[in-house]
Amino acid sequence: MPEKTKAERRWESWYEAYNKVVEPFPEPVDVPCPEGDGGHIRLTYYARPGSPAGSVTAWCDRCYHGIWLDRVGIPAGAEVYSFEDGPTDRPDIELIPDALYTPDDYPSP
């Protein structure tokens, strides 16, 4: 198996940070930004009304970088926005490239 590129390692570090936040949900957990900027990971969920699955942006509250994951389960009690109407108080997020990489534990559709 070829060694991961820098872009792939960066994306995977974000995916790991996302998992650290979502696994104990609804318990809050303080996960530092993978960029090492002193920020913390926040999650914003999007789904159609009543759907148990949707998408999520995992983003840093300091550098405003993040990743977009599609086809994720929406945890019970999570605040969910429609795809058309996101939160008005969230800054614009700069998504890091996917780097054409999918981690081994990413759920398949």
Query: So where are the chain's domains?
Result: 6-85
* Bridging pattern class, strands 80-81 and 41-46: parallel
Q: Binning pLDDT at 50, 70 and 90, where does residue 31 land?
A: very high
pLDDT of residue 86: 81
SS3 for 95? Answer: strand
Output the pLDDT for position 102.
56
pLDDT in tens, 62-88: 999 999 999 999 998 999 999 888 888
Please report which helix (H) or strand (E) contains residue 17, including its range: helix 6-22
What is residue 1's predicted lDDT score, i.e. its pLDDT?
60
From the number of C-beta atoms within 10 Å of its C-beta (0-12, 13-18, 19+), residue 49 rates as: exposed
Q: Which of 30-34, 46-50, 86-90 shows the highest mean pLDDT?
A: 30-34
Res 101 pLDDT > 70: no
Q: Please state whether the predicted TM-score (pTM) of the whole model is above 0.95.
A: no
Phi/psi at 40 (5° precision): -135, 155
Distance between CA atoms of residues 14 and 35, nearest Å: 9
